[in-house]
Amino acid sequence: MRDAGAEAQDPVEKLRVFIAEGGHVKGSRLPAERQMSEALGLSRATLRRALDALEREGLIWRHVGKGTFLTDGAPAQAPSLAAVELGRQLTPFRMMRARLAIEPAIAREAAVNASGETLQKMQVAIARAKAAESWAEYEVQDDLFHRAVAEASDNLLLLALFNQLNEVRRAVAWGSVTRESPRPSPDHSSFAEHDAIAAAISSRDAGAAYEAMRRHLGSVARRLFSEV
């Protein structure tokens, strides 16, 4: 019989500790759900809710039929209290305006300074996004792609600005987003847009990288709102 006290503990924190103390490296596959459920003393339903939470944070990604993996990039943290408070005061429309003001400039710097490692991170995120079996999995890889662009700027201040922007973005109340399919379609517009951003950065074309990112965020905004 499963320990009721174990279930009463925060399952997300229990799972974090399990991952941290288990010697799992970035990109590695975690044990099967049945094994983790038994090791943590959690029901499968509770474990899946904890996995959902870590997936939303970008710590893990899941592939149907293959398993659960640690992401290659630095995991996103839960929004801070300051970010949550700012997110409550910021509309999704204003959030997108902020992204349009900042992220194209970061992409321009990435075209000048990107390393081979950060270019590879972009390609890995692009490939995994295209292979995503769910919108949640896609969104994790989308987040990792944009962070890889920020890392490619090779500017700690720009990366810090991006991280703060992204933290507030996660705290903004977006409301219910209606999805017409369980996963992105093969012709999802962001796929080609991410390809264009990565190609411009890889080609060291700063102007093209700026415009590609601006077009991409404009496209995202138009899907969310009538216009930005």
CATH number, position 15: 1.10.10.10
Most confident of 5-19, 64-78, 123-137, 163-177: 123-137
Of 72-81, 114-123, 147-156, the least confident: 72-81
The pLDDT confidence band at residue 219, using thresholds 50, 70 and 90, is very high
Cα–Cα distance list, 117 to 104, 171, 196 (Å)? 20, 29, 18
pLDDT at 220 over 50: yes
Encode pLDDT of 97-142 as tens digits. 999 999 999 999 999 999 999 999 999 999 999 988 888 788 888 9
Percent of the chain with pLDDT over 70: 81
Q: Could you say which DSSP state residue 90 is in?
A: S
Residue 136 lies in a domain: yes
Where b means 16+ CB within 10 Å and e means fewer, 50-89 reads bbebbbbbbbbbbeeeeebbbbbbebbeebeeebeebbee
Residue 76: inside a domain:
no
Domain shared by 125 and 200, yes or no: yes
Domain that includes residue 214, residue range = 81-224
What pLDDT is recorded for position 164?
A: 85
Residue 76 reports pLDDT greater than 60: no
Residues recorded for the chain: 228
Domains of the chain: total: 2
Report the CATH number at residue 193. Answer: 1.20.120.530
Residues 216 and 142: their CA atoms lie apart, in Å, by: 12
> Which of 14, 45, 70 marks a domain boundary?
70
From 22, 50, 70, give the residue that closes a domain.
Answer: 70
Q: What distance in Å separates the CA atoms of residue 220 and residue 216, rounded to the nearest whole number?
A: 6
**What pLDDT was estimated at residue 6?**
45
The whole-model pTM stands at 0.65
pLDDT in tens, 12-69: 888 988 888 877 777 778 899 999 999 999 999 999 888 888 877 777 877 656 778 8
Same structural domain for residues 113 and 220?
A: yes
So what's the pLDDT on residue 166?
Answer: 84
Q: How many Cβ atoms are within 10 Å of 133's Cβ, its own excluded? A: 16
DSSP bridge pairs for 63: 67
Note whether 160 and 217 are same-domain residues.
yes
Q: Note whether 114 and 174 are same-domain residues.
A: yes
